[in-house]
Chains A and B, each alone.
Chain A
Amino acid sequence: MFAFIIRRTALMVPTMLIISAIVFVVIQLPPGDFLDTLASQLASQGEGLADSQIALLRERYGLDQSILVQYLKWITNIVTALDFGQSFEWNKAVLDVIAPRFWVTLGIALLSLALTAVVAIPCGIYVSLRQYSLGDNLATFFSFLGLAVPNVLMTLVLMYASFTLFDSNPGGLFSAQYQDAPWSVGRVLDLLAHLWIPAVVLATAGTAEVVRVMRATMLDELSKPYVDTARAKGLTEARLTMKYPARIAINPIVSKLGWMIPIIVSSEAVVSIVADIPTMGPLLLRSLLAQDMYLAGAIILLLAFLTVIGTLISDILLALLDPRIRHAME
């Protein structure tokens, strides 16, 4: 098992390196660079920037070198010193700009994953036991709806509902009075009141998928002879379901996890932009528009890293849960 984890982790390294190269090319794509943006901004404010000054700055930031050299510098600094470079716009180290927002992104992603698991797994078990009941049909209906409603629209609808029903403007992370307050129960509740919209939106599509998979696997398992055997031996229905078919039906869900994390992480960017929550999403949008390339690159790279780590965790969990997979690996 240990060897498997090591091997699987080592496999991440080349993947991340290739991703970093792709990311670097992508952030280099827009014509011009940050200094052009800066120069035009200054020019619009009436302050010119002499060409010689621009050339000087370009040299200082290493923007005059070839892409390959710039990339090698960038990736070496990241790997050796965890230095993601300097954000032009914020005039701070990229890591300092990202760090507080990284935790919010991670928090929202974990919250919505937890929400998915808590809602979808019991739901999936229930609908498989009551096939074609009202609950089953409702679940099917909502799963299709969950897959069809664009995240953007759902965020807007929930914000609209919260605005018209509770008269609260749910944008941001905290209400005004808690913005700079020290941590307290009230502040945590306030945070949750702001985070429920992104969490619900992000959990919906995942929940729809998990309920569907859970239901299908459960239905397969429930018709197998071992269930009859257990029943004949006098196990209660509840114990029987939880002990055998439910445990097997969890496996595909765990492998789905690895597939859900990229979706959650990437949808989170859009949802946060709509709901104006200070995560990496809005920061990415802004840095892209301002051509703050190291900041944008670091964000995409970190989001990709979250995805790769998520897949790794789900692979390891799967191997831990299912002895068949574990033996096949070893």
Chain B
Amino acid sequence: MSSATDTTAAAPAPAVPAAIAAQESRLAGASEWRLIWWRFRRHRLAFASGIVVLAIYVIALLADPIAPASTEASKPQYTYAPPQMLHLFRTTDDGWRFEPHVLGYRVQIDPRAMRRSFVTDPDTVIPVGLFVRGDRYSFLGLFESDLHLFGPIEAGQPFFLLGADRLGRDVLSRTIHGARVSMSIGLVGVLMSLAIGVVLGGLSGYLGGLVDSAIQRTIEIIRSIPTIPLWMGLAAAVPLTWHPLAVYFAVTVILSLIGWTTIARIVRGKFLSLRNEDFVVSARLDGASQTRIILVHMLPSFYSYIIAATTLAVPTMILSETALSFIGLGLQPPMVSWGVLLKEAQNIRSLASAPWLFAPGVAVMIAVLSLSFLGDGLRDAADPYQK
């Protein structure tokens, strides 16, 4: 990585020494967070990924109004209907005009294979608009509405931008709804790992001695049990009769039972290196209490690292949830997560005729990639004093 002190390199070269002095004082006077922010902003890929991550979380939060249909709205006559192309302009007798629309389907029966297939019907034009009425939903339990960001102007018309699944449900809408569970399970799970990791890692690093060895041995043992088989064992213990929310919570706890070890190691390493720093020693000699030393003096000097490590742990959680739900031990339908949705794609034959069922998998990839880039960028920016 390039040096941290040229944060202002983007600004035009200073002409007079006074300007240099001004810049230096700008650097010297900036808070740690400001320095981190400057450094992070220069990391273009991480910055762009941060925006993508933010967008995914906004979409997940607003899934109900953004998705054109609800998760369970099914149109059995459109089983495995292929994706529709969104046309922006419509050609009529007197030229063309702006009118977003999709084309309807016509069912064709292949007499030899005896298979139903859909072809687009250029005569059926389904106009598409913004802020249309559609399926009713309850937005986060706060209020009810039937307003959708986009969709067919006339409710009930087939509108499958990413095709339909086995039951004629809209894959796009389900993928958007799946973001809610998949993205939040990563976040909640990581927060839980963070809580355990910071406490145990902190104790381990700060107290040292017997406590340290005990916690470190525990971490080593947990890490030498293969994660997925262990998760499978724990997830199998979740009773099928539980409420979906309880299952969701249980799966999150299971995932964070192992996730905390990484964070605990980082925290311990930082505590060990900071314990004998001058400012910690002087705080101790000044008579500050242990809690005060940890919370006021030590924690602020490394929580940027913790934030970076936490961000990097989210993709792992998302991937694990996907794997567990896919094999049927994690979340169960009617709960919708990307893993549950990918389960639809389990049958290789149905996949061969409906490859758009891969869509939730692509969503996982985008989420994981952007979270990884964001985490990498944060890790590089975490230490603004580093050369």
Quick one: CB contact mask for B360-379 with A, threshold 8 Å, 1 for yes? 01001100110011000000
Stretch at the interface among A39-47, A54-62, A188-196, A267-275: A267-275
Measured CB to CB, the closest approach of chain B to A131, in angstroms, equals 15
CB of B220 within 8 A of CB of A15, answer: yes
Interface residues of B, count at CB 8 A: 41
Measured CB to CB, the closest approach of chain A to B137, in angstroms, equals 29
Is A235 on the interface with B (CB-CB < 8 A)? no
CB of A152 within 8 A of CB of B323, answer: yes
Candidates B220, B228, B315, B348; contact of A267 at CB < 8 Å: B228
CB pairs A–B below 8 angstroms (6 shown): A148-B315, A156-B358, A156-B361, A163-B349, A269-B228, A269-B229
Bound complex: CA A208 to CA B73 (Å): 41
Candidates A31, A144, A300; contact of B225 at CB < 8 Å: A300
Known: A156-B358, A159-B348, A269-B229. 8 other contacts (CB 8 A): A26-B230, A149-B361, A150-B364, A153-B358, A265-B229, A284-B229, A285-B329, A307-B224
Query: Which residues from A are CB-within-8-Å of B232?
Result: 269, 284-285, 288
Quick one: CB contact mask for A1-36 with B, threshold 8 Å, 1 for yes? 000000000000001001100110011011100000
Taking A18-B221, A144-B369, A288-B232 as contacts, is the C-beta distance between A303 and B226 under 8 angstroms?
Answer: yes
Bound complex: CA A157 to CA B362 (Å): 11
Residue of B nearest to A310 (CB): B224
Bound complex: CA A267 to CA B346 (Å): 17
The 3 A-B residue pairs with the shortest CB-CB distance, nearest first, are A29-B237, A266-B226, A153-B361
CB of B369 within 8 A of CB of A148, answer: yes
Is B83 on the interface with A (CB-CB < 8 A)? no
Candidates B230, B322, B352; contact of A150 at CB < 8 Å: B322
Is A319 on the interface with B (CB-CB < 8 A)? no
Taking A160-B355, A285-B327 as contacts, is the C-beta distance between A23 and B225 under 8 angstroms?
Answer: yes
Is B287 on the interface with A (CB-CB < 8 A)? no
Interface residues of A, count at CB 8 A: 50
CB of B368 within 8 A of CB of A160, answer: no
Measured CB to CB, the closest approach of chain B to A213, in angstroms, equals 15
Taking A23-B233, A153-B365 as contacts, is the C-beta distance between A147 and B372 under 8 angstroms?
Answer: yes
Question: Which secondary structure dominates chain B's binding surface?
Answer: helix
Query: Which residues from B are CB-within-8-Å of A156?
Result: 342, 345-346, 348, 351, 358, 361
Residue of A nearest to B319 (CB): A150
- Using a CB–CB cutoff of 8 Å, the interface residues on chain B facing chain A are 220-221, 223-230, 232-234, 236-237, 239, 315, 319, 322-323, 326-329, 339, 342, 345-346, 348-349, 351-352, 355, 358, 361, 364-365, 368-369, 372-373
CB of A31 within 8 A of CB of B221, answer: no
CB of B361 within 8 A of CB of A150, answer: yes
Taking A153-B365, A285-B327 as contacts, is the C-beta distance between A22 and B229 under 8 angstroms?
Answer: no
Bound complex: CA A209 to CA B369 (Å): 15
Query: Which residues from B are CB-within-8-Å of A274?
Result: 326-327, 346
Bound complex: CA A33 to CA B326 (Å): 25
Residue of A nearest to B225 (CB): A304
Quick one: CB contact mask for A256-292 with B, threshold 8 Å, 1 for yes? 0000001101110110011000000100110011000
Quick one: CB contact mask for A133-150 with B, threshold 8 Å, 1 for yes? 000000000001101111
